[in-house]
Amino acid sequence: MAFHDEPAFPEPQGFEDDDIPTIGNDMLHPDVEFEAGMSAAPVVSLSLIVACVVIFGFQVANGALADLNGLRNMGAMDPALVEKGEVWRLLSATFLHGNFDHILGNVIMLYILGMGCEHAFGRSQFLALYVVAGLCGSLLSLTGGRVSVGASGAIFGLAGALVATLWRHRARLHVRDRRIGLLLVAWAAYQLVIGALLPQVDNRAHFGGLICGTVLGLLLHPAVLDGRIEVYERGTTKAALVLAVAALVGTGVFFVPRLLG
């Protein structure tokens, strides 16, 4: 048997190591245009808006607008009653409003911010974000010792979450108009200033929701990047959804009879 120094499979002429194709990080994690695929009819956001509007209709029918006792009887966040065990008021209050201007402003911002957040995080994480931000707003509002209503705490939470996730993933998430982040910050700052000037505005709820939403925006997995099915299949996402739905159902057990009564 003869042996030769030449390789059994000679390397093709002109082939260099640098010619070997490699998979780069940009191929594994491609950039995403944030607005691509965003729906103008976000299902969960519109469902929350419908719930707020329907409940507002019950308020009008029962004469519970800008009336402290009427709001309290309906399910407003009353620190004294919450301390007595009516913790469901922390969430029911986020579906009540003081007047027409109050609900109009909230549903407009809920639609705008809900469209962005529901697209960014997926429906399950969005619902959990909304509920948790609303609860955090009510919890901080408790320290003010006043009766409070409105979805503003939850809405501020959506604004904080959206700005936080756009900033955190700014290297991969591309927004057509980057001024949207500045616009949201300016809106939140303006609302907080107005809240500081007007004693009837519950700025504690605003701050509570904003802080909570900002933290969650840094922690949640963006479905727009990681994939909606992949994010939904996470155990943490399913657990958060179950807890959010349980909180809504538990609140409804005490809240709905008051609306109907």
Q: Is 113 exposed, middle or buried (0-12, 13-18, 19+ CB in 10 A)?
A: buried
Look at residue 67 in the predicted model and tell me its pLDDT: 82
- Spatial separation of the C-alpha atoms in residues 104 and 182, rounded to whole Å: 23
Euclidean distance between CA atoms 29 and 193, whole angstroms: 40
Tokens 């943490």 appear where? 236
Half-sphere exposure of 59 (CA within 13 A, CB side): 31
Q: So which residues are the catalytic ones? A: 152, 206
**Beta partners for residue 220, in sequence order:** none
pLDDT in tens, 134-174: 999 999 999 999 999 999 999 999 999 999 999 999 999 88
List of domains in the chain: 37-260 (1.20.1540.10)
Eight-class DSSP state of 86 = -
Instruction: Give me the residues of the chain with pLDDT under 50, please.
Output: 1-6, 8-9, 15, 21-28
The predicted-structure confidence for 50-83, as pLDDT tens digits, reads as follows 999 999 999 999 988 878 899 999 999 999 999 9
What's the confidence (pLDDT) of residue 3? Answer: 40
Query: Roughly how many angstroms between the first and final C-alpha of the chain, as a whole number?
Result: 101
What distance in Å separates the CA atoms of residue 134 and residue 250, rounded to the nearest whole number? 15
Neighbours of 121 (CB within 10 A): 27
Mean pLDDT of the chain: 88
122 three-state secondary structure: coil
